[in-house]
Amino acid sequence: MPPVRQWIRSPFDPEARYGRKRDIHWVGYKVHLTETCDEEKPHLITQVETRPAIEQDNEATAEIQEELVKNQLAPSQHLVDAGYVSAKLILDSQEKHAIDLIGPVHVDPSWQSRTPGAFDASQFQVDWQAQLATCPQGQQSNGWYPQKDSQGEPVVRITFDPKTCLACPVRSQCSKAKNTGRTLVLRAEGRHQALQVARERQQTDDFKSLYRKRSGIEGTLSQGIRSSDLRRTRYVGQAKTHLQNVAIAVATNIKRLIDWLNEIPLASTRHSRFTLLLLPA
């Protein structure tokens, strides 16, 4: 069998692919929209990206930013959904385009990060030049092994001496291994540090206040679906489907610009009658 990305899913469109997001399934494409979010200006769509439905969202991030830079529309801050963010993309956005990529990064999945009082990776001090890690009890690692993860991305596996770990008085807060010492698997230096900074930032009130602006894109998708049937392609092939998506974006921009010139305010978030009963008067 060929790779799943090459599977033809429809006899009517050989380029269409199978897509799934939570409980939604479809055959076709994905459209990624980027818009401005200035408070006193109309929210206009600045970039449209049409991709095969089988692709992950983060595969489109780099091309979206390259297109924005090419058209001199690159933002200083790029607010995105969690699916568009990774440590690599955060670094690449800053280094290549001076764009601050902002979105919720995945949290540490280890049991230590979910257990109060336990020692997760963020509590270990890492000296990348000396290739040493120091645990919260002051003990240093005895092994440093550069490797690749399942996606081919560089990681480093750090090990601690089993004898030292087995005799540690707080071992139950650090490791559940019965015969070995604590092991850490960290991303490469720049990515690890970027990930730690992003995790800390997304816990702050400033991040939450700024990230609220991204909610406007959900209204844009809803507007495109309701007014222009964005979820249904009228054509065969990715190129023509992309042209349709661009036309819908242009129509949306014209409508929004007219509303702005006529001083029609943006719609507020809708609440059900039950929710309104819970809101303060």
| 197-235 pLDDT tens trace | 999 999 999 999 999 999 889 889 999 999 999 999 999
Distance in Å from the first CA to the final CA of the chain: 61
Q: Are residues 115 and 139 in the same domain?
A: yes
Q: Has residue 171 been placed in a domain?
A: yes
Q: Are residues 181 and 146 in the same domain?
A: yes
Q: How many angstroms separate the most distant Cα atoms in the chain?
A: 74
Q: What is the pLDDT of residue 267?
A: 75
Rounded CA-CA distance 235/230 in Å is 12
Q: What is the pLDDT of residue 162?
A: 93
Judged on CB neighbours under 10 Å (0-12, 13-18, 19+), 78 is buried
What is the domain count for the chain? 2
Q: Are residues 97 and 130 in the same domain?
A: no
Residue 27 reports pLDDT greater than 90: yes
Q: Are residues 88 and 8 in the same domain?
A: yes
Residue 281 reports pLDDT greater than 70: no
Q: Has residue 273 been placed in a domain?
A: no
Residues with Cβ within 8 Å of residue 163, at least 6 apart in sequence: 181
Instruction: Provide, rounded to the nearest whole percent, the portion of the chain with pLDDT above 90.
Output: 77
Q: Are residues 233 and 176 in the same domain?
A: no
Q: What is the pLDDT of residue 216?
A: 86
Q: What is the pLDDT of residue 201?
A: 93
Q: Which of 154, 182, 201 is the last residue of a domain?
A: 201
Query: Residue type at 157?
Result: R
Q: Are residues 162 and 225 in the same domain?
A: no
Domain membership of residue 184 as a residue range: 111-201
